[in-house]
C-alpha cells in the first residue's frame, strides 16, 4: 500500500524574499524547523552544481540522526512563484526515512506568500515492522512540519523568535500534563 505524501500549506503575511531567506539560509532554517538541529552547506566545485548539505537531528539520550541532502533545482515562474526541489536521506537505521524527495513552493498572493511543501520518503525497513513504524511516524513528521510552518509564520508576521515559541509550546504541554495527572 502506497502512503500519501506529506503536504503542508500556510499563508504567511510576508513577501516571498523574506520567506525565501528564512527557509533557504541554513542558520535561519534550523531555528524554526523542529525537524533539524543543524544544517550545513557543503562546498560546491562550481556555481552550477546543486547545493549539497548535511543535516542533524538530536534525539534523546545522546542519539542523533545525521543525513545528507541536495537542492536539486529551483524554478522561478513569471508570476513570481518560486519552487525549490530537494533530495534527502540518511544511512542510519534509527531513522524510519531512508531516502526522500520533495519540494517547497512560494506563491505570491495579495495577503503575502502561500508557502507549501510536499514530500515523500522510502523506509529503511520495507517489511511489516517498517510499515507499522511508518503508521506512527508519518503523522508525527507531518505534524512536526506543520508546527514548524506555524513557528516560521509567527516569526515573520509577529517577530516572535522561534526558540521562545518552542519554549512556550513545551511549557503549555507540561502544564497540561500536570493538570491531567491531578
Residue 8 in grid coordinates: 503542508
Render pLDDT for 48-66 as a digit per residue (tens, 0 to 9).
888 999 999 999 889 999 9
Distance, in Å, from the CA atom of 64 to the CA atom of 15, rounded to the nearest integer, reads 35
Q: Is the pTM of this model over 0.85?
A: yes
Looking at residue 133, what DSSP letter applies?
A: H
Residue 179 parent element (H or E): helix 162-181
Distance, in Å, from the CA atom of 44 to the CA atom of 59, rounded to the nearest integer, reads 29
Query: Which distant-in-sequence residues (6+ apart) come within 8 Å of 147 by Cβ?
Result: 34, 169
Render pLDDT for 119-145 as a digit per residue (tens, 0 to 9).
999 999 888 998 999 999 999 999 999
How much is the CA Rg of the chain, to the nearest whole Å?
17
Amino acid at each position: 500500500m502506497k502512503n500519501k505524501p506529506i503536504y503542508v500549506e500556510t499563508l504567511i503575511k510576508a513577501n516571498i524574499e523574506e520567506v525565501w531567506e528564512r527557509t533557504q539560509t541554513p542558520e535561519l532554517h534550523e531555528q524554526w524547523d523542529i525537524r533539524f538541529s543543524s544544517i550545513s552547506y557543503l562546498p560546491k566545485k562550481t556555481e552550477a552544481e546543486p547545493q549539497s548539505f548535511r543535516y542533524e537531528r538530536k534525539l534523546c539520550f545522546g542519539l542523533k540522526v545525521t543525513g545528507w541532502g541536495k537542492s536539486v533545482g529551483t524554478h522561478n515562474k513569471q508570476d513570481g512563484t518560486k519552487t525549490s526541489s530537494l533530495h534527502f536521506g540518511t544511512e542510519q537505521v534509527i531513522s524510519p526515512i531512508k531516502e526522500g524527495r520533495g519540494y517547497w513552493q512560494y506563491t505570491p498572493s495579495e495577503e503575502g506568500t502561500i508557502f507549501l511543501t510536499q514530500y515523500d520518503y522510502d523506509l529503511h525497513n520495507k517489511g511489516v515492522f517498517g510499515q507499522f513504524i511508518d503508521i506512527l511516524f508519518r503523522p508525527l513528521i507531518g505534524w512536526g512540519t506543520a508546527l514548524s510552518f506555524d513557528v516560521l509564520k509567527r516569526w515573520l508576521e509577529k517577530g516572535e523568535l522561534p526558540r521562545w515559541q518552542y519554549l512556550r509550546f513545551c511549557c503549555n504541554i507540561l502544564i497540561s500534563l500536570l493538570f491531567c495527572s491531578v
